[in-house]
Amino acid sequence: MHLPLINKTLSRNAKVFTSLILVVVVLFAISGIFNPRSLSPSHILGVVRQSAPLGISAMGQSAVILTGGIDLSVGEVITMTNIISADMMKGRNSRTIPVILLLLVIGALIGGMNGFMIATTNIPPMVMTFAMSSMVKGGYLLYSGGAPRGRVSPFLRYIGTQRFLGIPVTVIVYTMLIIAVLYYFQKTKWGRSAYFIGNNPVAAEYAGIPKTYRLIMIYAFSAMMAVITGLILSGYIGIGTFDVGGDSYMLNSIASSVVGGNTFNGIGNVGGATIGALIITVIESIMTSLGVAETGKLVMRGVIIITMVTLYMGSIDLDKVKKFFSKEGGPVKDAQGN
Confidence of residue 139 (pLDDT cuts 50, 70, 90): very high
* CA-atom Rg of the chain in angstroms: 21
E strand segments, the chain: 163-164, 167-168
Q: What is the pTM of this model?
A: 0.84
**Mean of pLDDT values over 139-160:** 90
Task: Give the domain CATH number at 58.
Answer: 1.10.3470
Contacts with 144 (C-beta within 8 Å, 6 or more apart), sequence order = 83, 87, 240
Confidence of residue 7 (pLDDT cuts 50, 70, 90): very low
Domain containing 305 equals 47-315
Better-predicted residue by pLDDT, 63 or 28: 63
Could you tell me if residue 103 is inside a domain? yes
Dump the DSSP string for 8-22.
HHHHHHHHHHHHHHH
**What's the domain count of the chain?**
1
The DSSP element (H or E) to which 27 belongs, if any, is helix 3-34
Could you tell me if residue 136 is inside a domain? yes
Confidence of residue 54 (pLDDT cuts 50, 70, 90): very high
DSSP 8-state symbol, 141: H
pLDDT digits 0-9 by tens, 222-250: 999 999 999 999 999 988 888 888 888 88
d(CA 320, CA 261): 25
Could you tell me if residue 154 is inside a domain? yes
**Mean of pLDDT values over 46-56:** 91
How many percent of the chain have pLDDT more than 90?
37
Per-residue pLDDT, 206: 67
Q: At what angle do helices 41-66 and 74-89 cross, to 10 degrees?
A: 120
Q: Which of 32-46, 168-182, 275-289 has the lowest mean pLDDT?
A: 32-46
Could you tell me if residue 144 is inside a domain? yes
Nearest alpha-carbon partner for 113 in 148, 152, 82, 139:
139
**Mean of pLDDT values over 86-99:** 91
Confidence of residue 318 (pLDDT cuts 50, 70, 90): low
Could you tell me if residue 224 is inside a domain? yes
DSSP 8-state symbol, 167: E
Could you tell me if residue 23 is inside a domain? no
User: In Å, how far from its chain's centre is CA 302?
Assistant: 15
Per-residue pLDDT, 1: 43
Per-residue pLDDT, 109: 96
The torsion defined by the Cα of 263, 287, 303 and 232, in degrees rounded to 10, comes to 30
Could you tell me if residue 335 is inside a domain? no
Better-predicted residue by pLDDT, 324 or 148: 148
Average confidence score pLDDT of the chain: 83
**Mean of pLDDT values over 80-100:** 92
Could you tell me if residue 55 is inside a domain? yes
Per-residue pLDDT, 325: 67
Per-residue pLDDT, 5: 42
d(CA 235, CA 158): 7
